[in-house]
Amino acid sequence: MSVGTQRLRDDADRLRAGAIAKREDPKVVDAALAADAARRDLSQRVDALRTERKRLSAEVGALLGGKPAVPATDPKVIALKAESQKVATEMETLEKDLAAAEAQLEDLLLRIPNPPDEDIPVGGAEANTTIRTWVPAGHPAIGAKGEDPATAAAPEHDVVAERLGIFDLERGAKVAGAAFPAYRADGAALIRALINLFLDTHVRENGFTEIWPPILINEASARGTGQIPDKEDQMYVVGRDGFYLAPTAEVPVTNLHRDEILDGAQLPIRYAAYTPCFRREAGAAGRETRGILRLHQFDKVEMVSFERPTESAAALEWLTARAETLLQRLELPYRVLLMATGDMGFVQMRKYDLEVWAPGSKRWLEVSSCSNFGDYQARRMAIRYRTAAGEKPELVHTLNGSGLAVPRVLAALLEHGAQPDGSVKLPAALHPYLGGRTHLAPPTKS
Cα three-residue angle 117-270-217, rounded to 5 degrees: 85
pLDDT score at 89 = 93
* Model pTM score: 0.91
User: DSSP letter at 214?
Assistant: -
CATH class of 125-440: alpha beta
Residue ranges of the chain with pLDDT lower than 70?
1-2, 144-147, 149-152, 282-289, 446
Nearest-angstrom CA–CA distance, 436 and 417:
16
d(CA 288, CA 157): 12
User: Dihedral angle at the C-alpha atoms of 193, 194, 200, 201, nearest 10 degrees?
Assistant: 140
Nearest to 379 by CA among 209, 258, 213: 258
pLDDT for position 72: 82
Give which of 327, 379, 386, 382 is closest to 353, Cα–Cα: 327
Q: What is d(CA 212, CA 301) in angstroms, rounded to the nearest whole number?
A: 11
Residue length of the chain: 446
Contacts with 363 (C-beta within 8 Å, 6 or more apart), sequence order = 146
* Alpha carbon distance 202, 189 (integer Å): 20
- What SS3 class is residue 446? coil
Amino acid at 66: G
Positions annotated as catalytic residues are: 279, 294, 366, 369, 408
Report the candidate in 396, 173, 103 with the shortest Cα–Cα distance to residue 264: 396
Q: What is the pLDDT of residues 392-440, one digit of tens each?
A: 999 999 999 999 999 999 999 999 999 999 999 999 999 999 999 999 9
pLDDT of amino acid 59 = 85
Query: Can you give the C-alpha Rg of the chain in angstroms?
Result: 29
CATH: 1.10.287.40, 2.40.50.140, 3.20.20.70, 3.40.50.9100. Which one for 5-110?
1.10.287.40
CA distances for 403 relative to 142, 148, 156, 408, 427, angstroms: 23, 26, 24, 12, 17
Give the bridge partners for 279, in sequence order: none
Left (φ > 0), alpha (ψ -120 to 50) or beta: where does 46 sit? Answer: alpha
- Which pLDDT belongs to residue 88? 92
What's the rounded Cα separation, in Å, for the pair 227 and 62? 56
Sign of CA dihedral 384, 388, 390, 391: negative
Pairing of strands 269-278, 209-211: parallel
- For 28, 117, 351, 359, the CA distances from 17, given in Å and listed in that order, are 12, 11, 18, 40
Angle at 108 between CA 397 and CA 384, to 5 degrees: 25
Fold match flag (5-110 vs 125-440): no
Rounded distance between C-alpha atoms, residue 98 and residue 91, angstroms = 10
Half-sphere exposure of 408 (CA within 13 A, CB side): 27
Q: Does residue 3 sit in helix, strand or coil? A: coil
Domain boundaries, the chain: 5-110, 125-440
